[in-house]
Amino acid sequence: MAPTQNPISSRQVAVIGAGAAGLVTARELRREGHSVVVFDREKQVGGLWIYSPKADSDLLSLDPTRSIAHSSLYESLRTNLPRECMGFRDFPFVPRGDYESRDSRRYPSHREVLAYLQDFAREFEIEEMVRFETEVVRVEPVNGKWKVRSKNSGGFSEDEIFDAVVVCSGHFVEPNIAQVPGIKSWPGKQSHSHNYRVPDPFINKVVVVIGNFASGADISRDIAKVAKEVHIASRAREFDTYEKISVPQNNLWTHSEIDKANADGSIVFKNGKVVYADNIVYCTGYKYYFPFLETNGYISNNENCVEPLYKHVFPPVFAPGLSFVGLPGLAINFTMFEIQSKWVAAILSGRITLPSPDKMMEDILAWYARLDALGIPKRKTHKLADFQCEYLNWIAKECGLSPVEQWREQQAIRGFQRLVSIPETYRDEWDDDDLIQEAYGDFARKKLISFRPSYYLESRR
Ligand SMILES: Cc1cc2nc3c(=O)[nH]c(=O)nc-3n(C[C@H](O)[C@H](O)[C@H](O)COP(=O)(O)OP(=O)(O)OC[C@H]3O[C@@H](n4cnc5c(N)ncnc54)[C@H](O)[C@@H]3O)c2cc1C
């Protein structure tokens, strides 16, 4: 829909979260002329990129009374995307500041991502909008506006009225635990990757890691450095899979999924192999969770599908007063946060209009029908990896923005292919220098970097 000629209005907007999504949302809202308050439980910006050795008090994260750690980072974590395609479009994730004290690798450590987000917040003076150590405990619609209740570290609680609320609270805190037949009587220790930090608790243990995507691949190899044996259970593999993976300790295997866990400590895989294990680590992903949101049942979360949401952002009945930035799972997250938040900001000001609630519902149902026709289950409603540029370019067009750069899309695709085919080395071996060159050329043309485009590649040789 084309931008309208409506007068631009400024709104009072609450943003929940000062992670990557909340930071760029705050910037875009302010750029559009809105007045913004960002709430965050933490003491600093960065969201899940703030590493803490502390984990949840319940390592499976099932106990509702547990103390909760927001971050899911492990000490050894490096990005799973090349930095050029990971950053915001107008503030590239290039090596910055004092080169020596920063991590200039193409797939840097989590510390470098936090430093980048801190640079971003400083550059665009975001911190002045943030109320740190302030948790939003309730958000509800009241007479066309939004009541936000928050509490700070002193226990103080207050209600405030906003014209709109943008939810940027992340979705990597509430673990999804795979169902293993017989697990209730299995005597070993269980934990979720959300609570994995370092391999030390697994010294000389026999460990089963369930899940073999980005975190599972990393964590199994991290644990293999100190464990006696590590066995990966992968639902994506054929039932007879049994492969030894080459690691220096010679102690890592991939299996098909688990058939059964038994009271004698054994784990039986569908390939027929039996392992007596001390630990299970679930690398089985996360669930959407918005405990503060009270919409009288209008917004529901069934099978990890938050609905109804127009373009995964606006619940039709509450649009544009309530929106979500950062909900879909796709590779180029930060680009998505930037594009979605520009859209939300422009819709709130009246510069762009949304279709009627009925039309938005029609669009949502059409998306469900498309997923259905492709055989994609409901739990993958927000997994847009295969549609990411189609999705982002649709919103970009609404906002009058240029489409996602081809080099960015290609870097993400080729990075993903390397992650799957060479999980041990994909961060340090690549064959897409041409795409790096293109990215830096693009940054230079847009005057986003102050060094020669070839400098990064030359300095890496
Ligand atoms: C282990 C792991 C590795 C990843 N690696 C990569 C990667 O390499 N590259 C990549 O692009 N993406 C990666 N991701 C994806 C990740 O989603 C994004 O990088 C992104 O940083 C998430 O940003 P966010 O702002 O949506 O959420 P978060 O960073 O989680 O920020 C949400 C913020 O909201 C605050 N908050 C939540 N609830 C409340 C409340 N009620 N009141 C107040 N504040 C609240 C939290 O304190 C937090 O600061 C990874 C994810 C995980 C789990």
Is residue 192 exposed (0-12), middle (13-18) or buried (19+ Cβ within 10 Å)? buried
Using CA positions, which residue lies closest to atom 8 of ligand 1? 79
What is the per-residue pLDDT for 98? 65
Domain with 247, as residue range(s), is 177-282
CATH of residue 136's domain is: 3.50.50.60
Q: Is residue 437 part of a domain?
A: no
Domain shared by 136 and 232, yes or no: no
Using CA positions, which residue lies closest to atom 12 of ligand 1? 333
Domain shared by 276 and 213, yes or no: yes
Domain shared by 168 and 37, yes or no: yes
Of the candidates 25, 37, 30, 39, which has an alpha carbon nearest to the alpha carbon of residue 10? 30
The better pLDDT of the pair 409, 239 is held by 409
Domain shared by 165 and 305, yes or no: yes
CA 42 to ligand 1: nearest atom: 47
What is the per-residue pLDDT for 4? 47
Domain shared by 274 and 327, yes or no: no
Tell me, in angstroms, the distance from the centre of ligand 1 to residue 71's CA: 8
Domain shared by 153 and 193, yes or no: no
DSSP state of 259: E
Q: Is residue 426 part of a domain?
A: no
* Number of folded domains that form the chain: 2
DSSP state of 224: H
Give 120-151 pLDDT, tens digit per residue.
999 999 999 999 999 999 999 999 999 999 99
Tell me, in angstroms, the distance from the centre of ligand 1 to residue 145's CA: 27
Tell me, in angstroms, the distance from the centre of ligand 1 to residue 22's CA: 9
- Report the half-sphere exposure of 133 (CA within 13 A, side-chain side): 6
Using CA positions, which residue lies closest to atom 26 of ligand 1? 170
Q: Is residue 418 part of a domain?
A: no
Of the candidates 171, 159, 172, 174, which has an alpha carbon nearest to the alpha carbon of residue 14? 159
Task: Say if CB 20 and CB 150 are below 8 A apart.
Answer: no
Domain shared by 84 and 149, yes or no: yes
Domain shared by 61 and 169, yes or no: yes
CA 134 to ligand 1: nearest atom: 43
Q: Which residue, of 220, 251, 282, is where some domain finishes? A: 282
* Ligand 1 neighbours by CB, cut-off 6 Å: 16-22, 39-42, 47-49, 70, 72-73, 79-81, 86, 135-136, 168-170, 172, 215, 292, 326, 333-334
Tell me, in angstroms, the distance from the centre of ligand 1 to residue 36's CA: 20
Q: Residue 264: what are its φ and ψ, rounded to 5°?
A: -85, 5
pLDDT over 70 for what percent of the chain?
Answer: 96
Q: Is residue 193 part of a domain?
A: yes
With helix as H, strand as E and coil as C, how does 274-312 read?
Answer: EEECCEEEECCCEECCCCCECCCCCCEEECCEEECCECC
How large is the average pLDDT for residues 289-297?
95
Q: Residue 239: count other Cβ atoms within 10 Å of its Cβ.
A: 12
- Rounded to two decimals, the pTM is 0.95
Task: Say if CB 171 and CB 260 are below 8 A apart.
Answer: no
Domain shared by 196 and 159, yes or no: no
Q: Is residue 314 part of a domain?
A: yes
What is the per-residue pLDDT for 96? 78
Task: Say if CB 313 and CB 342 are below 8 A apart.
Answer: no
Domain shared by 235 and 139, yes or no: no
Q: Is residue 84 part of a domain?
A: yes
